[in-house]
Chains A and B, each alone.
Chain A
Amino acid sequence: MGVKGLWELVAPVGRRVSMDTVANKTLAIDVSIWLTQFLYAMRDSEGELIRNAHLLGILRRCCKLIFYNVKPIFVFDGATPQLKRRTLISRQNQRNKQKLRLRRIAEKLLLNELKLKKLKENKKIESKGNEERVNPKVNPRDLYNQYMDTVLRATLERSNIETEKDTDQVDIEAVHNHNNNNSMEQLESLVEEREVEAQLSEAEEEGDEKEEDINTGVSNFSERLASSEREQYEVPDISQISTDSLSSLPPEMFETIVSEIRSRERNLHREEFIKAENDPANFSKKQLEGFLRLSQTKKEVVKARATAYSHVLHGRRRIASDPGKNYTLTKISDSTPENGRELNDDGQFCTNFRLESSIESNNSKVDEGLDCAKSTSNAENHSEFCVRHSETKNEREPVLILDRDIEGSSQADVEEDEDIEWVACPPDSNCNFVEHEWTSNVQVEWDGMEQNIRNRSSLCLDSPSSADLVKHLNEDDAEEEDFMTADIQSAIYSSLANEHCLKHEAESCAKPCESHLESTSKVDFWDKEETMNSLNSLKEDENEVFSRNVMSSKVDEALHSSPSSGNHLNTCFEEEILNEEEITETRVSRDFILPDEKLESLFQEFENERKELHQEFTHLKSGSDMITDEMCEEIRDLLRMLGIPYIQAPMEAEAQCAYFNQIGLVEGVITEDSDAFLFGARTVFRNIFEDKKYVEQYEMDDIERYLGLDREKLILLCLLLGSDYTQGIHGVGVVNATEIIRAFPSFEELKEFAQWANQLSLEEERLSLDPEDPNFVKKEFFLKHRKMKRNWVVHDSFPSKHVMDAYSYPVIDTRSIEFQCQRPNMAQLVEFCRAKFGWDSDKVKKLVVPVLKAYDAKNQSQTRIEQYFHPMRFAKIKSKRLENAVRGITMAVDEEMFLSKSKQLVEDVNSSTDEKTSNMRKRRKKNTKDRRKKYSYMENGP
């Protein structure tokens, strides 16, 4: 923004004047800078952008201006000058980098939170001491589950923030695997282990890593989580990419990513197949899984592509009011139940959780699924799950009857294309199937009032037909994908059908849930507990592991549902915590019990780290928003209501403002951008909204007179210092630049400078200095800067005539325009504020009425004394070298500006040292303080 360091240079001629000085003046304002400021600064404690910050900021500032009887003219930026593009691109890069950093910080934050939580838990455990139930089956994976819960929660919290802040859809899919050690211990055979491992999907592999190093694993995981955010630079697993994020990418990038995903997916499968090759059943299952995943990927890609191109077709996407703010959380946990009767038995426990928010609430589940799919691309994404349960509760019976009729069921399934999750139910095992699904309304979500909750049944299957499955699979291989999908489904259904009694029980479990489908999440929660209880009773003979899994899954449910439940959030969390405590109780985590003091210190450490990270996170986030056309349009509306005239500049608003100032249409320019001087502004007001009473006023006359810098020299300075248009010379700051301008005060002479600076020779050493020489100044300069120039990077294009011209002859609207301020329209403002900020009319009136009063009572305003008697300047030139340079350029020197001079004056008069003076000040300061506390004076009578 502006010329680097120019404000610093001109500060000594600036004057701090009262706000009243600007009263009754017509001032031009460059809005774009304001907007940038608002987006950067107007944030709450969490670092989120305040809703409609731009409008609120404009309203407040305009009110202040009108209150002080300023007649503002707003100028909007037009097209971007060619020269500025480069700067903008680099800014974009900067922003991208910042986003990357933001991501990294977020990960750290997550990790930190996990550690903290762990510590807290440990504390809890320790406090329980001996009462603790010692469970010999120590399960590090349980620990890991706990971590995952935290990750998920943190992610959710973050996603909350982001869905709100960043209007883009944020999808977070967490693939989560519980791999139960207990069963592994029991099974103990190598084959089994290998099988289990082979079964592990990519995420599961991660889980294995976590066995060894939980923290590393968690960080990996969180990385993956983070990578599912919009900016994806490494291509993650397809399950981590949402259709939305994909489709929001530019088409070229989209294609690249898709192809990469595919090839990776393929490689992955191959690897898995190799692992499982010794076990036919497992191998076939692998095949099945691989196929499912591939087809899923493909479908997702197709959908994403459709969405992506539809975006292209429909032009720019509305960002500010995206109707379907969605996020999805999917959790899959695999566990091997302990009582596998056969060696090859493989239990898999899959829980898929999904939380979906969609704008429409539907009652019919099938329709709902479809509608959801339509209304949000996200939902579509999930409707693409390769294996689907198309049946709703009421449909289940028919499906069960379906027997092994592949075609029939596949037809039915394909027709009922909906977004119901699929849960893998491997054969020959006590597979527990719990599926929960919620679909909630987005708007309602935040209010937490009503939501449409869908609770999916829990199924217990015991199906023998692994062979069947393999067979189906083989058949399927030859068939078309869609049909194949259906085939697999039907195969599963058929296996389902084998276990009638169990199913009936499961249904009975599901019924309570069903009856409460529309209930709030809290009630829902209890329902689930019921479900769980009945499940437990059902599986009484089964292992604890299962119940624990259900427990933890329930915890997760509560977790997932909590953001959507808004007001119920707390209750849910409380319950969740309770549950977690239970889990904690049932587990010994000896590894993690640390000595108290160490724990305490660690705790502190993490706490501090968290704070720091959070701060940085907040800070980084503030730089990541952009100004949109929509914002500008809203601002124009607001300005119309306030009766403030505005125009659209053909190019740079700054140049237009400066032009108005030049021709006397306005008496000054309000800006934070020092470019204004270069465009020819005469009077610039700065920091007008920083202080209540004072404004910094810069007069071009002063700059010319006291700094000896006219517009041309300022532009030359800009060439040296760098600005939006040019990079400047790296290594040259204000002091050097001023010295250069002193020695080379014109464009032509600057070329000479460039030539010199690019020379490598050291001929300066031989220069003889003679004050009489007309080139004395230059020679002196050469001599003094001969060492410095090595650090300077002078570009070939320097000095650029283009930049010079861009400032000297900017593209501006030179038509004569008449501006007229109107009285603010109260009624419209009330309506506007209600709509945009949710203010009631009282609040608006409180703000606007004094402004209107000031607008009406324009006559007889009291002036201030500073308007007539100029105050002392607020800044002085501190650099000795700069002072000399300024003295060299200009003849008329105002001694007031120089720090050294004023010091000298004092020193002339007094013989005391600086130390004394500072002591004196210190003592006085103390007095002032004392006096403020309580005034007293000493009395010494004779």
Chain B
Amino acid sequence: MVSKEEQNSSSSFQFEARLTQASLIKKILEAIKDLVTDANFDCSAEGLSLQAMDSSHVSLVSMVLHAQGFEMFQCQRAVSLGINLASLTKILKCAGNDDSITLRADEKGDKAEFVFESQSQDRLSEFELKLMDIDSEHLGIPDTKYSAVVEMPSSEYRRICSDLGLMGDTVRISVSKESVKFQVDGDIGKGSVCLHPSSVVDKPTEVVKISLEEPVDMIFSIRYLNNFAKAAPLSDTVTLSLSKDFPLQVEFKFGEQMGYLRYYLAPKID
């Protein structure tokens, strides 16, 4: 599975990578395209990564696909592919979920090539996408030990966010040893959802886990949390990490060693 053909001079491409499942890329794109319009896909020997802020600079998307997660990954030099996500979505619509997808960037660096191959290898489609020059600020995300880490089913996360989103625009997330509580105080009234850590571990995907250093009580904009919920198809579980006076981290893992999609959301303050 891991095939790093480094310094393969036979290839005329600076960067070439193949994923067996186009669906992963499609889902990732679905999960971020509402937050971010244009983004640089940074290709390096380590893998493919993306970091972008939403237009109001309240949230940050950070996606990493490790090189070992690809069927084939080859990067002669670091390139940064400036892509309009709406355009990429159009191209990816042409790929079947089970198609394999090959991404190439040549030396000129003004376009990226996408090759979709069906599982039975009887259909091959090729697309070329013009690249853009995107000035983006790269933020340094400090390594942090969060005070509270909550793991929960992503479907549960999605449901809470969409339910509470109907009530108001801000949600108060309070994490204690016993529970994690989502409270909303809106114009029509208030409401709350409280989750307790699962005592019995039946299905690993439905587990609620809380690891706590110290209790946290913070407020966030529901709109953004709802946006993050679009990544739910990527992973069965979601991890919310909170620290006082620090952005909330919402992480969706793509599976073992593949990579992750993380959202950061700046808190609201009283």
Which residues of A are in contact with B by a Cβ distance under 8 Å?
Answer: 18, 24, 859-872, 906, 909-912, 916, 919-921, 923-928, 930-931, 935, 937-942
Q: Is B247's CB under 8 angstroms from A869's CB?
A: yes
In the complex, what distance in Å separates the CA atom of A744 from the CA atom of B79? 44
Q: How many A-B residue pairs have CB under 8 A?
A: 120
Q: Is A941's CB under 8 angstroms from B269's CB?
A: no
A867 to chain B: closest residue by CB: B266
Which residues of B are in contact with A by a Cβ distance under 8 Å?
Answer: 44, 53, 56-60, 76-78, 82, 84, 87, 90-91, 107-111, 124-134, 137-142, 170, 219, 221, 246-247, 264-270
Chain B residues with CB under 8 Å of A910's CB are 76-78
Q: Is A927's CB under 8 angstroms from B127's CB?
A: no
Would A942 and B125 be within 8 Å (CB), given that A870-B139, A872-B137 are in contact?
A: yes
In the complex, what distance in Å separates the CA atom of A866 from the CA atom of B137? 10
Chain A residues with CB under 8 Å of B132's CB are 924, 927-928, 931
A938 to chain B: closest residue by CB: B128
Would A924 and B269 be within 8 Å (CB), given that A869-B247, A870-B140, A941-B126 are in contact?
A: no
A916, A927, A935 pick with most chain B CB within 10 angstroms: A927
B128 to chain A: closest residue by CB: A938
Q: Is A866's CB under 8 angstroms from B57's CB?
A: yes
In the complex, what distance in Å separates the CA atom of A371 from the CA atom of B134? 72
B113 to chain A: closest residue by CB: A940
Would A869 and B77 be within 8 Å (CB), given that A859-B270, A927-B132 are in contact?
A: no
Name the one of B110, B140, B221, B246 contacting A927, with C-beta atoms under 8 angstroms: B110
Name the one of B107, B108, B110, B139 contacting A869, with C-beta atoms under 8 angstroms: B139
How close is A936's CB to chain B, nearest CB, in angstroms?
8
In the complex, what distance in Å separates the CA atom of A924 from the CA atom of B139? 23
Q: Is A920's CB under 8 angstroms from B110's CB?
A: yes
Q: Is A860's CB under 8 angstroms from B268's CB?
A: yes
In the complex, what distance in Å separates the CA atom of A935 from the CA atom of B131? 12
Chain A residues with CB under 8 Å of B270's CB are 859-860
Would A860 and B137 be within 8 Å (CB), given that A865-B266, A912-B77, A937-B91 are in contact?
A: no
Chain A residues with CB under 8 Å of B221's CB are 862
Chain B residues with CB under 8 Å of A867's CB are 266
Chain B residues with CB under 8 Å of A865's CB are 53, 57-60, 139, 247, 264-266
A910 to chain B: closest residue by CB: B77
Q: Is A868's CB under 8 angstroms from B130's CB?
A: no
Chain A residues with CB under 8 Å of B77's CB are 909-912
How close is A362's CB to chain B, nearest CB, in angstroms?
65
The DSSP consensus for interface residues of chain A is mixed
Name the one of A863, A924, A926 contacting B109, with C-beta atoms under 8 angstroms: A924
Chain B residues with CB under 8 Å of A864's CB are 56-58, 266
A-B CB contact pairs (8 Å), 30 listed: A860-B269, A862-B221, A862-B268, A865-B264, A865-B265, A866-B139, A869-B247, A870-B140, A872-B137, A872-B138, A872-B139, A909-B44, A910-B76, A912-B107, A920-B108, A920-B109, A924-B131, A924-B133, A927-B131, A930-B130, A931-B84, A931-B130, A931-B132, A937-B127, A937-B128, A937-B130, A938-B128, A940-B127, A941-B125, A942-B125
Q: Is A18's CB under 8 angstroms from B57's CB?
A: yes
Chain B residues with CB under 8 Å of A940's CB are 126-128
Name the one of A909, A931, A937, A942 contacting B78, with C-beta atoms under 8 angstroms: A909
Chain A residues with CB under 8 Å of B109's CB are 920, 923-924
B109, B111, B125 pick with most chain A CB within 10 angstroms: B109
In the complex, what distance in Å separates the CA atom of A866 from the CA atom of B127? 36
The 4 closest A-B pairs by CB, nearest first: A910-B77, A923-B110, A920-B109, A869-B139
B126, B128, B138, B269 pick with most chain A CB within 10 angstroms: B269
Would A935 and B87 be within 8 Å (CB), given that A862-B268, A916-B107 are in contact?
A: yes
Q: Is A869's CB under 8 angstroms from B141's CB?
A: yes
How close is B59's CB to chain A, nearest CB, in angstroms?
6
How close is B43's CB to chain A, nearest CB, in angstroms?
11
Contacts A868-B247, A870-B140 aside, 20 further interface pairs with beta carbons under 8 A come to A859-B270, A860-B170, A862-B268, A863-B58, A865-B53, A865-B60, A865-B264, A868-B246, A869-B139, A871-B140, A906-B78, A909-B77, A909-B78, A910-B78, A924-B133, A927-B131, A937-B87, A937-B129, A938-B128, A942-B126
In the complex, what distance in Å separates the CA atom of A257 from the CA atom of B56? 65
A869, A906, A927 pick with most chain B CB within 10 angstroms: A869
How close is A896's CB to chain B, nearest CB, in angstroms?
9
Q: Is A860's CB under 8 angstroms from B127's CB?
A: no
Chain A residues with CB under 8 Å of B264's CB are 865, 868-869
A907 to chain B: closest residue by CB: B77
In the complex, what distance in Å separates the CA atom of A33 from the CA atom of B128? 54
How close is B74's CB to chain A, nearest CB, in angstroms?
14
How close is B134's CB to chain A, nearest CB, in angstroms?
8
Chain A residues with CB under 8 Å of B130's CB are 927, 930-931, 937
Would A939 and B247 be within 8 Å (CB), given that A923-B109, A924-B109, A928-B133 are in contact?
A: no
Chain B residues with CB under 8 Å of A871's CB are 137-140
In the complex, what distance in Å separates the CA atom of A939 from the CA atom of B108? 19
A20 to chain B: closest residue by CB: B57
In the complex, what distance in Å separates the CA atom of A942 from the CA atom of B267? 50
In the complex, what distance in Å separates the CA atom of A872 from the CA atom of B140? 7
How close is A383's CB to chain B, nearest CB, in angstroms?
69
Q: Is B90's CB under 8 angstroms from A937's CB?
A: yes
Q: Is B137's CB under 8 angstroms from A923's CB?
A: no
Would A924 and B247 be within 8 Å (CB), given that A860-B268, A863-B269, A865-B59 are in contact?
A: no
Chain B residues with CB under 8 Å of A935's CB are 84, 87
Q: Is B82's CB under 8 angstroms from A924's CB?
A: yes
In the complex, what distance in Å separates the CA atom of A912 from the CA atom of B59? 36
Chain A residues with CB under 8 Å of B76's CB are 910-911
In the complex, what distance in Å separates the CA atom of A18 from the CA atom of B56? 10
Q: Is A924's CB under 8 angstroms from B128's CB?
A: no
Name the one of A862, A912, A921, A938 contacting B58, with C-beta atoms under 8 angstroms: A862
Chain A residues with CB under 8 Å of B82's CB are 924, 928
Chain B residues with CB under 8 Å of A919's CB are 108
In the complex, what distance in Å separates the CA atom of A402 from the CA atom of B4? 121
In the complex, what distance in Å separates the CA atom of A861 from the CA atom of B221? 10
In the complex, what distance in Å separates the CA atom of A18 from the CA atom of B57? 9
In the complex, what distance in Å separates the CA atom of A867 from the CA atom of B128? 38
Chain B residues with CB under 8 Å of A906's CB are 78
Chain B residues with CB under 8 Å of A921's CB are 133
A861, A870, A906, A923 pick with most chain B CB within 10 angstroms: A923
Chain B residues with CB under 8 Å of A861's CB are 268-269
How close is B256's CB to chain A, nearest CB, in angstroms?
27
In the complex, what distance in Å separates the CA atom of A931 from the CA atom of B87? 10
A693 to chain B: closest residue by CB: B57
Chain B residues with CB under 8 Å of A860's CB are 170, 219, 268-270
